[in-house]
Amino acid sequence: MEIKVIIINGPNLNLTGTREQSVYGKKSFEDFYNEELLTFAEKNNLKLEYFQSNHEGDIIDKIHSSIGEKNFIIINPGALTHYSYAIHDAIAASKIPAIEVHISNIFSREKWRSSSVISPVVIGIISGFGLAGYKLALQYVLEYLC
Amino acid sequence: MEIKVIIINGPNLNLTGTREQSVYGKKSFEDFYNEELLTFAEKNNLKLEYFQSNHEGDIIDKIHSSIGEKNFIIINPGALTHYSYAIHDAIAASKIPAIEVHISNIFSREKWRSSSVISPVVIGIISGFGLAGYKLALQYVLEYLC
Amino acid sequence: MEIKVIIINGPNLNLTGTREQSVYGKKSFEDFYNEELLTFAEKNNLKLEYFQSNHEGDIIDKIHSSIGEKNFIIINPGALTHYSYAIHDAIAASKIPAIEVHISNIFSREKWRSSSVISPVVIGIISGFGLAGYKLALQYVLEYLC
Amino acid sequence: MEIKVIIINGPNLNLTGTREQSVYGKKSFEDFYNEELLTFAEKNNLKLEYFQSNHEGDIIDKIHSSIGEKNFIIINPGALTHYSYAIHDAIAASKIPAIEVHISNIFSREKWRSSSVISPVVIGIISGFGLAGYKLALQYVLEYLC
Amino acid sequence: MEIKVIIINGPNLNLTGTREQSVYGKKSFEDFYNEELLTFAEKNNLKLEYFQSNHEGDIIDKIHSSIGEKNFIIINPGALTHYSYAIHDAIAASKIPAIEVHISNIFSREKWRSSSVISPVVIGIISGFGLAGYKLALQYVLEYLC
Amino acid sequence: MEIKVIIINGPNLNLTGTREQSVYGKKSFEDFYNEELLTFAEKNNLKLEYFQSNHEGDIIDKIHSSIGEKNFIIINPGALTHYSYAIHDAIAASKIPAIEVHISNIFSREKWRSSSVISPVVIGIISGFGLAGYKLALQYVLEYLC
Amino acid sequence: MEIKVIIINGPNLNLTGTREQSVYGKKSFEDFYNEELLTFAEKNNLKLEYFQSNHEGDIIDKIHSSIGEKNFIIINPGALTHYSYAIHDAIAASKIPAIEVHISNIFSREKWRSSSVISPVVIGIISGFGLAGYKLALQYVLEYLC
Amino acid sequence: MEIKVIIINGPNLNLTGTREQSVYGKKSFEDFYNEELLTFAEKNNLKLEYFQSNHEGDIIDKIHSSIGEKNFIIINPGALTHYSYAIHDAIAASKIPAIEVHISNIFSREKWRSSSVISPVVIGIISGFGLAGYKLALQYVLEYLC
Amino acid sequence: MEIKVIIINGPNLNLTGTREQSVYGKKSFEDFYNEELLTFAEKNNLKLEYFQSNHEGDIIDKIHSSIGEKNFIIINPGALTHYSYAIHDAIAASKIPAIEVHISNIFSREKWRSSSVISPVVIGIISGFGLAGYKLALQYVLEYLC
Amino acid sequence: MEIKVIIINGPNLNLTGTREQSVYGKKSFEDFYNEELLTFAEKNNLKLEYFQSNHEGDIIDKIHSSIGEKNFIIINPGALTHYSYAIHDAIAASKIPAIEVHISNIFSREKWRSSSVISPVVIGIISGFGLAGYKLALQYVLEYLC
Amino acid sequence: MEIKVIIINGPNLNLTGTREQSVYGKKSFEDFYNEELLTFAEKNNLKLEYFQSNHEGDIIDKIHSSIGEKNFIIINPGALTHYSYAIHDAIAASKIPAIEVHISNIFSREKWRSSSVISPVVIGIISGFGLAGYKLALQYVLEYLC
Amino acid sequence: MEIKVIIINGPNLNLTGTREQSVYGKKSFEDFYNEELLTFAEKNNLKLEYFQSNHEGDIIDKIHSSIGEKNFIIINPGALTHYSYAIHDAIAASKIPAIEVHISNIFSREKWRSSSVISPVVIGIISGFGLAGYKLALQYVLEYLC
């Protein structure tokens, strides 16, 4: 059986690789996605989709349209992490198992970054491992399915 | 005179009837709207419009376009209730009398659900009566106009 | 079957119509009760009782004596809303479905008025619709029973 | 014209003179009332009434029955000072000018004693002058009427 | 010498045995009092009195009237535990040694139940042992008197 | 024996009568002092001195120089009330009995005005009675000395 | 060299001139922009663009597309000022020097308006000067470039 | 059947009888244990063990080794009461019914002593009755087993 | 008509140009005043006065003496911004329109710098534009007078 | 080159598999370590050591002795996560790159579990993935070394 | 080389020896200065100056005039410790190494005394050692210069 | 008479000289102890003992065993400073005069470092003077004994 996974990135993550490189690294997410994540997915029979938006509403729409279509959500809500209760509700309503990923360690930066309104409705959180965090999330999907 | 009322539902309310049924009930809003609210409205000479969006910006746009067009707003901002000061400002700026409705009792759930940034600019709030809350809001519109 | 509903009003609500008219309106609760609520109740086969007291203890006693006698409580605890955990416990212990009503919009006044210790144990809350709020509560009772 | 003033004492103030003498002094309020306040009132054409209760509800009832009967309220709500929003509302609703008196300096004791929910609706507060505080309140009544 | 002990129960404790049995148990306080506490008291030369009220004012009056009459107060203030500074003051003013009892473990329930405004003026607190807590309190009275 | 009393007014109180008349009244302090307070003092064998400064340091210096010279301090620290711990310490160090006076009711204005860092070291506080508050303070001095 | 400046207005600012005139003034932003800002810009060799949206996501998209295109951002995020960490991140990521403008004095209104999550990433803030604030921002751009 | 009970005392309780006698009394715990608790236990067929340590880790180890060995834990965690979430977890993980005892009334001392992180996982708490509190705990064990 | 403007600088602003140059820049205020502000003022028919003091009281005295003398106050209260309610009251009492200027962006530094007790009584605030902020303030004065 | 990794588990993690299975799963850490982690490590040329203690001091000692001996620390501090600033300092002082792992999602449980005093000094945090979290940490070690 | 040290004492410290002797001791600072500090300084080639003022502004002026003149500041800001951000800024701007001294242990008195706004800009703090604290500060100056 | 002083260092202080040198300096405590403190002690007839542990329990045991053996405790509790109420109680129970020393200025680092739970039970605190702080503490011991 093929496992369908959607990766959802929130605001400003389209700038990864450009934006504050000391915090987010030098590689763009797109490059990483194409070079590493797709390769990994193919090898492990995962079907990946990637979606990025700077619009909270688009992210919610995407979560809704994933219902019945996807087996897993990997989500990095960007700064929406800290206030978007609407995304919280969308994930909870979707009942799709979800993993929260952050590129940087959100617990060692500004105080407001250290609380996530999303965390209570995900399986778990992976924060601080750079783009590799997305790969760890995929590896967990494989563990989860065994 | 015909009274024009718009019902505005925020994020995730399109999933009512599917989403967490123990909290929000089993009936979809659309069914309820068609079966109960439209019937009620017709009987009482109210002209209803229904609008749902997962986008804060769309909701604000809709409130703006209701200026001079609608006599009443019935709004359930979903999770935006708890942080959308922009909707707060839109309602205040519109000067259209508004009623805030919540399907569940937002005061008996997670702590963050118990405060609404919208409440200070509405006539009143109706929370916890399931979909019937929308009907109570319409009944108030009638009372208000007498 | 006749449905028995008790309306319980807390401190200072006996002064409605006199007290701060810009906030609470000009009609006394008694007049409204006799002219509107009783009429509405009769038409809909509801048996109403009305009780007002400035004493927390009397309100608790009344809730206790309603056990097994009433099908619904409509309660406006007045300022006790904000600190009477004893009324909270009385409603919870009674297991009678209850509706919390406030004449004014308690969320647009002093900060201390915006939290209710009663809300977690009621079905729902109706706040800001003037005396009409009590009528909406009765209308909900009818919805609830259908 | 005779000025009618009611002095309302809240819970435990009937024990003044017995209760913690280092804080509240050795004289009972009754003795002070009879020996000093009544004498002062007579001399100055004030008509005094004194009321004490340990029941919040009784105090509210008394404030209500003072409407149209009294020109001034002097109130020491005892420990109710710190939580009885119902008395706050009663004074505001009565529209009778009121003075808040405390025997001890409530600002130099336990932290919870240093905030009064009553203060926002009185003309002023007199705290820390022992039983003499009541006399100062009467003296203000005279000033006020000049 | 006979030791006189008064047990004072606050709001809603008259419903023990009926009210939320999973929290408060199935036995009514009255049965427990008659079957266990009175028996225990007689055997140990304690003279018990039992008083319950839903009125804060009645409880204060009772504490006042216990001055010079009782050697010990065992008090379960019910929900008044969390806000009745007036009972706090009454116990302090009475100078009668007092024990605070709670049937449930108030520290493992809603957050607001975990703080008692009464505790600073009692000898000690016994919470969570069901009705047996009252018996422990009596046993302490015996220890205290040895 | 002649009793020496110093009245110390803090920042902006030199503008009383001009400044926000709806809050502070229309009479200047100087006029009131000359017309009412001095007259009252003479009649009652009190020797008054009046001192005003916009400088915290001057007020502290004045309190220091009052040691051994004055029997009573009547102080209205103006806005320094809310942060001048240095004046707090000066009063405490002086050991001169002090009365804190405020023209307006500081408890019914902005939240930051409702706490005084001075109150813990004075005998008592008189707030809200306009300029008459100073006279009440003098009357207390007389009571105190009896 | 021509300096390119984009003015970005957030939610509800399209209603300026209509919306709460006592707070925001009577002139619409569009009129002011055309009559005053464009004129000023032309005279000073600034190239202005104006963008307004009620959508947080659109504003972020616009900031992104300004990278490499604009020399300055003048932003009035409207109510998003108080919670849009996503706009905060967008400005920081863009590295374009930005100025935050508010028409009203956000520090003298509701408490929640007095904190801006945007301020830490802008050069400076101009608040309270009506529409003229935008002109001051442009004047700063000229100062900055000298 | 013999009931096995372990009494665990935390940091500094080895000094009882020496340490601050006005707070903790003059008798050492060891004397009390030998003279009173062992006697009481023998009479009532309870098998007692006593353990004291100033090391959080030792206390956790002891709780672990009590699993399957003890029927009841009576624990006075000393100052660890206020921060040792690790002991909280150990008690919860052990599933052994536990009673929390404090010699002094922790609710009438420094503010930080009034909250216990242990309380949510014990049956109940006994605080303020001196060493007699341990005996009350044993008496509850007997009640519990009937 | 000549417009009279006073610029008031608070504590430590006499050191501008020396003090922490990375935060406050390298130019002294005096140089900037002479070279830029005076020139600008002359051109625009404004009459400037400049006043600096490290004494809160001197600043208050200066505000008082500006009543009836000045048309505008431009004030940078330095660190007094964060606690001098006395200056707040002085500005309010003076009724002179005032502008608050800060050289650095007080919202991107230590947390305590991000709240100003002065802001509620000024027309507006300009923060973060270096010494140019003073010039912007003057430019606003001109706008204001048109 | 062989990479040396130490896994350090804090209090109560020796009970995994026994303790609250709905939260922590049914497998013991030891079994998982032997069956999965060691196998994985061997395959990838990692040299693992495992250490568990209920003693904060032992954990600190172990971190110290890892200096110069280990290339990576994987640490699950158990409940010490929430208060052991001493472990925080030990990790920071060791300068060994560290990963924080939690078996459960600490952000969806009691509020006190949602903040970690350790997080600011680790590379990243992995929480909520059961025992698989340790494997993800090892996988990150491999990524990190590439 | 001679080292120049200025000792700056804030409000009320001129009263040391008189003021609350149980807290501050019986010796006046002046006596201590003359008898002990000057002697110590001479022996160790330090040149001392002593300055005391009750005026925040004077203290700031003195710090400013010490720039380029003194090698060390020893400062006891008295109650200004707790709110004078202006002195904080003055010390930071002066770049003179500074030591904060308090006669009493400010951490074991009223809560507001336990935080110092000055501490972040000094080398270190010495609190609780009576007048000897100043001598310790001088001894540190000697250590520092070695 | 020989004075016996024990220096107790808490967690991670064994790493001084290695650990974060910019904060704690480059010299190891052991070297400093041997080279400076022992020499100083000998010259002044003090008998020093040094003890370091990473275990809270060991530190408490050491304090207990110092009772009757030592005349002074100099303690640097490391990170335990911020949460070990158990050490607080141990010092208080020991009645040995104690001095709290910190190498760094704990008031200019992370916020959680700025409060000490130990401070209320020591004579005084010395913080920020590097290893020299220990020497200052010894010097105070000599002052104290004179």
* pLDDT at residue E24 tops 80: no
Q: For A45-78, give one letter per residue: b (16+ CB within 10 A) or e.
A: ebebebbbbbbbbbbbbbbbebeeebbbbbbbbb
Q: Nearest CA of chain H to the CA of J24: how many Å?
A: 11
| Strand pairing category for J72-76 and A72-76 | unpaired
> Contacts of residue B88 in chain G, CB cutoff 8 Å?
79
Where residue L66 falls among pLDDT bands split at 50, 70, 90?
A: very high
Task: Determine the average pLDDT of the residues in F44-68.
Answer: 97
Residues of chain J with pLDDT under 70: 19, 146
The predicted model gives I128-139 an average pLDDT of 97
Q: Which residues of B touch C (CB under 8 A)?
A: 105, 107-108, 114-116, 119-129, 132-133, 135-136, 139-140, 143-144
Instruction: Output the six-digit token pair for F69.
Output: 């010279």
Q: What is the pLDDT of residue L73?
A: 98
Chain F positions in Cβ-Cβ contact with residue I58 (cut-off 8 Å) = 55
Distance CA J111, CA J116 (A): 11
The pLDDT assigned to B2 comes to: 86
Tell me which residue in H12, H57, H58 faces L86 most closely, judged by beta carbons: H12
Helix (H) or strand (E) holding L41: helix L38-43
Q: Pick the more confident residue, A24 or I117.
A: I117
- B90·G14 Cβ contact <8 A: no
Q: Which two tokens stand for residue C61?
A: 């006693």
Confidence tier at G131 by pLDDT (50, 70, 90): very high
Distance from the Cα of J106 to chain H's closest Cα (Å) equals 13
F74 touches F98 (CB < 8 A): yes
H85 → chain J, closest CA residue: J79
Residue K130 in 3-state DSSP?
A: coil
pLDDT tens across A51-65, in order? 999 999 999 999 999
Nearest CA in chain A to B22: A93
What pLDDT, on the 0 to 100 scale, is given for residue D70? 97
CA distance E123 to E121: 7
- How confident is residue L84, by pLDDT bands cut at 50, 70 and 90? very high
Q: Which residues of K touch L116 (CB under 8 A)?
A: 107
Residues of K with active-site annotation:
24, 102
**Among B11, B18, B57, whose Cβ lies nearest the Cβ of A86?**
B11
The pLDDT > 70 percentage for chain A reads 97
Could you tell me how many CB contacts below 8 A there are between chain G and chain I?
A: 76
Chains G and I physically touch (3 or more Cβ atom pairs below 8 Å)? yes
Task: Check residue H59 and give its pLDDT.
Answer: 98
Minimum-distance CB partner of C125 among B127, B132, B143: B127
Known active-site residue I88: no
Contacts of L64 in chain H (CB under 8 A): 12, 14-15, 54
Q: Which of L61, H58, L54 is nearest to J57 (CA)?
A: L54
pLDDT of residue C86: 98
Q: Tell me the pLDDT band of A27, cut-offs 50, 70 and 90.
A: confident
pLDDT of residue J111: 95
- Which candidate, L135, L132, L128, places its Cα nearest to that of L41? L135
Parallel, antiparallel, or unpaired for β G124-127 and I124-127? antiparallel
Mean pLDDT comparison of A10-24, C27-41, F10-24, highest-scoring range: C27-41
Q: In chain K, pLDDT over 90 holds for what percent of residues?
A: 88
> Model confidence at L69, in pLDDT bands (50, 70, 90)?
very high
> pLDDT (tens digit, 9 = 90+) per residue, B28-84?
999 999 999 999 999 999 999 999 999 999 999 999 999 999 999 999 999 999 999
CB contact under 8 A, A121 and J105: no
- Indicate yes or no: CB of I126 within 8 angstroms of CB of G126: yes
Regions of chain D where pLDDT drops below 50: none
Q: For L21-45, what is the mean pLDDT? A: 90
CA distance L11 to chain K (A): 21
| Nearest-Cα residue of chain L relative to residue J82 | L83
Of B11, B53, B57, the CB nearest to A89: B11
Which residues of chain C neighbour D84 with C-beta distances below 8 Å? Answer: 79
What does the pLDDT average to over L112-120? Answer: 97
Interface test with L, best of K112, K140, K144 (most L CBs within 10 A): K140
Our CA-based measurement puts residue L43 at a distance from the nearest CA of chain H, in whole angstroms, of: 35
- pLDDT per residue over G46-94, tens digit each? 999 999 999 999 999 999 999 999 999 999 999 999 999 999 999 999 9
Whole-number pLDDT of residue J18:
76
Q: Contacts of residue D139 in chain F, CB cutoff 8 Å?
A: 135-136, 139
Residues 6+ apart with CB under 8 A from G106: G81, G113, G114, G116, G127, G128
Q: Which ranges of chain B does DSSP label H, i.e. alpha helix?
A: 21-24, 29-32, 38-43, 56-66, 85-94, 132-145
- Under DSSP, the state recorded for I71 is S
Taking CA atoms, what residue in B is nearest to A94? B19
Contact criterion met (CB < 8 Å) for K105 and L115: no
Q: Are G87 and G80 contacting, i.e. CB atoms less than 8 angstroms apart?
A: yes
Give the active site residues of L: 24, 102
CB < 8 Å to H132, chain E: 140, 143-144
Looking at residue J21, what is its pLDDT? 75
Q: Do A79 and G57 touch (CB under 8 A)?
A: no
Give, as one character, the DSSP assignment of residue K78: G
Q: Best residue in J55, J84, J89, J119 to probe L by mutation, most L CBs within 10 Å? A: J89
Band the pLDDT of H33: cuts 50, 70, 90: very high
In the predicted model, what is the mean pLDDT of residues E26-34? 91
Chain D residues in contact with C112 by the CB 8 A cut-off are 85, 117
At residue I84, the pLDDT reads: 98
Which residue from L12, L14, L18 is facing J86, i.e. has the nearest CB? L12
pLDDT in tens, E64-119: 999 999 999 999 999 999 999 999 999 999 999 999 999 999 999 999 999 999 99
At B144 the pLDDT is: 87
List chain L residues with CB under 8 Å of H15.
64, 93
DSSP E2: P
Identify which has the larger pLDDT, E146 or K62: K62
Residues G53 and G60: their CA atoms lie apart, in Å, by 10
Show the tokens assigned to D80: 């109710």
Are the Cβ atoms of F79 and I88 closer than 8 angstroms? yes
Answer yes or no: is pLDDT of L41 > 90: yes
> Given this model, what pLDDT does residue D101 score?
98
Whether residue D126 and residue F123 make contact (CB cut-off 8 A), yes or no, is no
Of B19, B58, B80, the CB nearest to A86: B80
Model pLDDT for residues B123-144, shown as the tens digit of each residue:
999 999 999 999 999 999 998 8
Instruction: Give the model's confidence band at B104: pLDDT under 50 very low, under 70 low, under 90 confident, else very high.
Output: very high
Q: Model's pTM, two decimal places?
A: 0.95
Joined tokens for residue H56: 């959080």
| Chains contacting H (3 or more CB pairs within 8 Å) | E, J, L
Would the CB atoms of C11 and D60 count as touching at under 8 Å? yes
Whether residue A35 is predicted with pLDDT greater than 80 in this model: the reply is: yes
| Neighboring chain D residues of E66 at a CB cutoff of 8 Å | none
pLDDT at residue F38, rounded to an integer = 97
Which of H55, H61, H67, H85 to probe the J interface (max J CBs under 10 A)?
A: H85
**pLDDT at residue E117, as a whole number:** 98
Give residue D23's pLDDT.
74
Of E61, E83, E85, the CB nearest to D54: E61
Lowest average pLDDT, out of E134-143, G97-106, J26-35, goes to J26-35
**Which residues 6+ apart lie within 8 Å of A117 measured at CB?**
A81, A82, A83, A84, A85, A88, B112
- Which residues of chain C fall short of a pLDDT of 50? none
Q: How many CB atoms lie within 10 A of CB D40?
A: 16
pLDDT digits (tens, 9 = 90+) for F70-98: 999 999 999 999 999 999 999 999 999 99
What's residue C62's pLDDT? 98
SS3 E107: helix
- Touching subunits of B (3+ CB pairs, under 8 Å) are A, C, G
Q: Which two tokens stand for residue A39?
A: 């390769």
What pLDDT sits at residue K26? 79
**Model confidence at A25, in pLDDT bands (50, 70, 90)?**
confident
- pLDDT at residue number A40: 96
Least Cα distance to G54 among G5, G21, G13 occurs for G13
Question: pLDDT tens digits, residue range H81-140?
Answer: 999 999 999 999 999 999 999 999 999 999 999 999 999 999 999 999 999 999 999 999
As a whole number, mean pLDDT of residues H36-52 equals 96
Helix (H) or strand (E) holding H73: strand H72-76
Domains of chain F: residue spans and CATH? 3-145 (3.40.50.9100)
User: How does H10-48 read in b/e, with b if 16+ C-beta sit within 10 Å?
Assistant: bbbbbbbbebeeeebbebbbeebbeebbeebbeeeebeb
Mean pLDDT value across residues A21-48: 90
Instruction: Compute φ and ψ for F2, nearest 5 degrees.
Output: -85, 135
Size of interface A-B (CB pairs under 8 A): 51
Residue E140 has pLDDT above 80, yes or no: yes
